[in-house]
């Protein structure tokens, strides 16, 4: 098992920089003040998590009785808030996954202005280090490890892109001496696209993020496919003027109702003081127009919109709304918003333009 142990201590570095971004050194690197995540790191993460986020390297050259694996793979995904990466390195034999070796967290330390890495092995070995960019755009990583028994060792890696593959050269590090070890070439596994179900085809236009200017403020809608394209999740956000964060206003789920032969949805609003819910369905015109018809359900005592402070009566009340979204092209659509008042549809917002223009970002 000695060979396998050496491999397990070296492999993580092959995957630390699975995809490289050739760019000039970032001016914030090495400075003493705290800084946001630099662009070269963000671009690197975006590429590594692209498509399936899975990178595979053949192991034919190093395969043995003690190391019977045909290949190795690492799966990179964003962590919470897209502010760090998390990864998992696993073994492949006869086309099947046969066990994980390492888990990783890669993050930008804003105080040290450094790209850091932490990894934990299946046997409890802990590695910590940092990743730098060399002048020629390669990634250079150094880590120190400690095993469950308390012994320690160090390893290094140099990674670069060539002919569409990510090359990673590992090194055994003792003091200032770096001795070459294994070389792996990692290829991105293309994501197998799931066919869009017929019932969802007309909604596919909305997948993505759309923004609407509201004077000096902004609104945003994001639609995303759920598992196997059998659902669509969405959320609405609002950004006030100034250097403020986006505020999420609601989130919801769209799914197909076979009894109605329609796409239906439920929306939950984020305001803790007003547990507002909405339910409705979509209809589609032959010209691609999307009609979103729904009712907002206000509990007893809840404030009602555009009503000068009126409250929902005993038992609550439901108010009908509809939106009409008319595609202009693949990246723009216009929207109109109505509510039903006294049996008639009208614009509830009296001031400002009656037609919105949403743009895809």
pLDDT for position 33: 52
Tell me the three-class secondary structure of the chain, residue by residue. Answer: CHHHHHHHHHHHHHHHCCCCCCCCCCCCCCCCCCCCCCHHHHHHHHHHCCCCCEEEEECHHHCCCCCCCCEEEEEEEECHHHCEEEEEEEEEECCEEEEEEEEEEEEEECCCCEEEEEEEECCCCEEEEEEEECCCCCEEEEEEEECCCCCEEEEEEEEEEECCEEEEEEEEEECCEEEEEEEEEEEECCCCCCCCCHHHHHHHHHCEEEEEEECCEEEEEEEEECHHHCCEEEEEEEECCCCCCCEEEEEEEEEEECCCCEEEEEEEECCCCCCCEEEEEEEECCCCCEEEEEEEEECCCCECCCCCCCECCCCCEEEEEEEEEEEEECCEEEEEEEEEECCEEECCCCCCCCEEEEEEC
Average pLDDT of the residues of the chain: 87
2-188 and 198-360 share one fold: yes
pLDDT higher than threshold 60 for residue 254:
yes
Give me the residue spans of the domains in the chain: 2-188, 198-360
CATH 3.30.465.10, applies to 198-360: no
Domain 2-188 carries which CATH code?
A: 2.40.128.20
Among 43-52, 136-145, 210-219, 225-234, the range scoring the smallest mean pLDDT is 43-52
pLDDT band at 323 (very low <50, low <70, confident <90, very high): very high
Does 9 or 332 have the greater pLDDT score? 332
pLDDT higher than threshold 70 for residue 14:
no
As a whole number, mean pLDDT of residues 20-37 equals 48
pLDDT band at 228 (very low <50, low <70, confident <90, very high): confident
pLDDT band at 227 (very low <50, low <70, confident <90, very high): confident
pLDDT higher than threshold 80 for residue 357:
yes
As a whole number, mean pLDDT of residues 275-288 equals 93
pLDDT for position 199: 94
């Amino acid at each position: 098992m000695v060979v396998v142990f050496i491999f397990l201590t070296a492999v993580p570095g092959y995957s630390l920089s699975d995809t490289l971004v050739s760019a000039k050194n970032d001016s914030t690197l090495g400075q003493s003040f705290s800084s946001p995540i630099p662009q070269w790191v963000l671009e690197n993460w975006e590429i590594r998590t692209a498509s399936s986020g899975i990178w595979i390297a053949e192991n034919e050259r190093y395969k043995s009785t003690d190391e019977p694996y045909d290949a190795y793979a690492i799966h990179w995904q964003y962590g919470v808030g897209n502010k760090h990466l998390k990864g998992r390195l696993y073994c492949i034999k006869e086309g099947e996954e046969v066990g994980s070796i390492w888990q990783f967290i890669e993050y930008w330390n804003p105080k040290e202005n450094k790209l850091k890495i932490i990894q934990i092995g299946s046997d409890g070995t802990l590695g910590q280090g940092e990743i730098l960019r060399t002048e020629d755009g390669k990634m250079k990583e150094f880590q120190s490890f400690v095993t469950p028994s308390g012994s320690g060792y160090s390893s290094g890696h140099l990674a670069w892109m060539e002919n569409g593959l990510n090359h990673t050269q590992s090194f055994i590090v003792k003091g200032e001496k770096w001795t070459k070890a294994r070389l792996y070439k990692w290829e991105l596994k293309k994501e197998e696209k799931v066919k869009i179900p017929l019932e969802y085809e007309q909604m596919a236009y909305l997948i993505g993020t759309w923004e609407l200017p509201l004077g000096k403020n902004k609104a945003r809608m994001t639609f995303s496919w759920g598992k196997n394209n059998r659902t669509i999740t969405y959320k609405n956000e609002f950004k006030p003027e100034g250097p403020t964060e986006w505020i999420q206003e609601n989130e919801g789920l769209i799914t197909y109702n076979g009894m109605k032969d329609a796409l239906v949805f439920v929306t939950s609003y984020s305001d803790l003081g007003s547990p507002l819910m909405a339910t409705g369905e979509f209809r589609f015109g032959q010209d691609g127009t999307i009609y979103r018809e729904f009712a907002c359900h206000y509990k007893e005592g809840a404030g009602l919109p555009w009503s000068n402070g009126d409250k929902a009566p005993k038992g609550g009340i439901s108010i009908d709304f509809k939106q009409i979204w008319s595609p202009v092209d693949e990246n723009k659509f216009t929207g109109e918003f109505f509510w039903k008042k006294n049996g008639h549809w009208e614009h509830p917002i009296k001031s400002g333009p009656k037609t919105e223009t949403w743009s895809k970002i």
